[in-house]
Amino acid sequence: MEAQQENKFLKTALLVLVVLFISIVTFGGGFVAGRFMPSDIAGVLPVTENAPPSADQQSSTPADVQTVFVPFWEAWNLVHSQYVEQPVDDVALMQGAIRGMMDTLKIGRNYYYTPQELQDEQDALNGKDYEGIGAYVDVDGDYLTVISAIKGSPAEAAGLRPGDQFIAIDGKDVTGIPPAEVRLKVIGTAGTDVVLTVLRKGNPEPFDVTITRAKITTPLVESEMREDGIAYVRLNTFGDSADAELRAALKELLAQNPKALILDLRYNGGGYLSQGIAVASEFLPEGKVVVYEKFGTGEYEPNNSTGNGVATEIPMVVLMNEGSASASEIVAGALQDYKRATLIGTRSYGKGSVQNFNELNNGQGAVGVTIAQWYTPNKRLIEKIGLEPDIYVQITEEDLEAGRDTQLEAAVQTLLAILNGNPVPTSQPTPITTPKP
């Protein structure tokens, strides 16, 4: 009997020790997980309340999506009732919700501009002064990406190149932050510094660049009559007065009886589709397809030249490079397809999606929604491919250090060869034929 009682006692004691051990391990494991595991749910308290949509919230939501929006309003209400710092900024929540919605769309560039972002974008596009580093950027991707540096800007002086990605700003990692928000961290008051951590294709490691912000002025058009009798015109953006300013510059140049024309679209990040069509129309006869828009239905919608162009006969070449994007590619692609101009430089950026630009009510910014993709008159896709130049010329580091513009030199040589009936120069070096991924 005593042995049985002793065994029972030992079993009981052993059971207690096992339970105690499991409890300790469980608690310890929870402590370890809560303290050291990178989990979003570590330290979360039990559910304390439900926050279903209010009657007003439900009634303000269209009937056909009320069920879909229940978790949205529930999250909205929980933030307002539980967030540690109150009151919550409703405008910031609204803007974040719109930005998140646009980020879920994967085809083309879909974006949201806050009122200030909208103003900054319009100022830069239309040649107005603004303060920042002076670069056209792409917010469609994981990181803010340089399309091109504006001529004479701090970004150009710092050596930023098309394709450079900003992975940290002032030492803070921006992975996972929408590029449109990162852009706000880059612009700022003239005279202040910003440290950009740059990821560049071909460089084994990221590197830091410190840039002093400045007031940026972007003239839409620059032009001159060269001593060799060739007219030169550079178009920097396709803002709302691009065609009017280009037309005026062309008339002034043509009055001086130039032998030929160079249209420079290098580092032109694009702009309005309507301006791209209008600019191309200056060099093409009336009724020519400038660009097709291909919609989700598979339908191709042509956009034709408008006629009354002032430079439809003069021999010309177009300069482009990896910073030539969007409307620049529309113009260059049309002139190349019709053999109206020889393209010289490097492969263009490859931005060929069409956005409807919609300003929101009550001055709350704007959204751009991709509705189609652009195709050249010969139905070549631009998006993520770009345009291959007829004559490939790359400006090397040695050229930059020596102050040589070998692409411009090749443009002059090509025009002189055409005028004199001689063979045009060949590509130098061997052209790159593999499209960008």
- In 283-400 the beta strands, taken as DSSP E runs, fall at 289-295, 300-304, 316-320, 342-345, 353-359, 366-375, 391-392
pLDDT of residue 165: 96
Which residue's structure tokens are 């961290």?
185
**Bridge partners (DSSP) listed for residue 68:** none
Q: Which of 405, 388, 385, 387 is nearest to 396 (CA)?
A: 405
Alpha helices in 292-424 (DSSP H): 327-337, 397-402, 406-420
Per-residue pLDDT band at 4 (split at 50, 70, 90): very low
Q: 30-34, 215-219, 430-434 — which one is most confidently predicted on average?
A: 215-219
Categorize the per-residue pLDDT at 11 as very low, low, confident or very high, splitting at 50, 70 and 90: very low
> Cα–Cα distance between 407 and 413 in angstroms, integer?
10
Can you say how many angstroms the Cα of residue 302 is from the centroid of all Cα atoms in its chain? Answer: 25
Alpha-carbon gap, residue 383 to 389, rounded angstroms: 16
Q: What is the pLDDT of residues 378-418, one digit of tens each?
A: 999 999 999 999 999 998 878 877 878 999 999 999 999 99
What integer is the mean pLDDT of 166-187? Answer: 92
The predicted pLDDT at position 321 comes to 94
Query: pLDDT band at 1, cuts 50/70/90?
Result: very low
Question: Which of these, 131, 206, 139, lies nearest to 173 by C-alpha position?
Answer: 206
What pLDDT sits at residue 47? 55
Could you give all domains of the chain from N- to C-terminal order, each with its CATH number?
49-83 (no CATH), 116-216 (2.30.42.10), 221-420 (3.90.226.10)
Taking the CA of residue 148 as centre, how many other CA atoms within 13 Å lie in the half-sphere pointing to its CB? 25
pLDDT digit string, tens, across residues 114-145:
888 788 777 767 766 778 999 888 877 789 99
- Which amino acid, one-letter code, is at 141? G
- pLDDT at residue 8, as a whole number: 41
Of 107-111, 132-136, 298-302, 417-421, which gets the smallest average pLDDT?
Answer: 107-111
Distance CA 1, CA 385 (A): 90
Closest Cα partner for 140 from 306, 363, 349, 313? 349
Please say whether the beta carbons of 338 and 285 come within 8 A: no
pLDDT in tens, 33-61: 333 333 344 455 555 567 888 888 888 89
CA atoms within a 13 Å half-sphere pointing along the CA-CB vector of 312? 14
Whole-number pLDDT of residue 49: 64
pLDDT at position 21: 37
Determine contact, residues 363/115, Cβ cutoff 8 Å.
yes
Q: Report the C-alpha gap between 117 and 185 in whole angstroms.
A: 11
DSSP for 313-331, written as a single string: SS-EEEEE-TT--THHHHH
Out of 21-30, 93-102, 206-215, 318-327, which region has the weakest mean confidence (pLDDT)? 21-30
pLDDT at residue 58, rounded to an integer: 85
| Strands in 154-246 per DSSP E | 165-169, 172-173, 193-199, 207-212, 214-216, 221-225, 230-235
User: For the residues of 217-279, what is the DSSP string, one character each?
Assistant: ---SEEEEE-TTSEEEEEE--B-TTHHHHHHHHHHHHHTT--SEEEEE-TT---B-HHHHHHH
Tokens standing for 412? 């002059």
- Tell whether the model's pLDDT for residue 149 goes beyond 80: yes
In this structure, the number of other CB atoms found within 10 A of the CB of residue 10 comes to 10
Question: Using one digit for the tens of pLDDT, what is the confidence trace for 310-365?
Answer: 999 999 999 999 989 999 999 999 999 999 999 999 999 999 988 888 899 888 89
Is pLDDT at 187 greater than 80 in this prediction? Answer: yes
Cα 269 to Cα 240: distance, rounded to the nearest angstrom: 14
pLDDT reported for residue 52: 84
Q: Which two tokens stand for residue 256?
A: 């001086």
Asked if 40 and 33 touch (Cβ cutoff 8 Å), the reply is no
Measured torsion, CA atoms of residues 433, 434, 436, 437, in degrees rounded to the nearest 10 = 160
User: Any idea which residue has 């940290």 for tokens?
Assistant: 168
- Two tokens at 83? 């967030």
Report which of residues 226 and 48 the model is more confident about. 226
Report the catalytic residues. Answer: 326, 337, 351
Nearest alpha carbon to residue 229 among 404, 412, 414: 412
User: Looking at residue 22, what is its pLDDT?
Assistant: 32
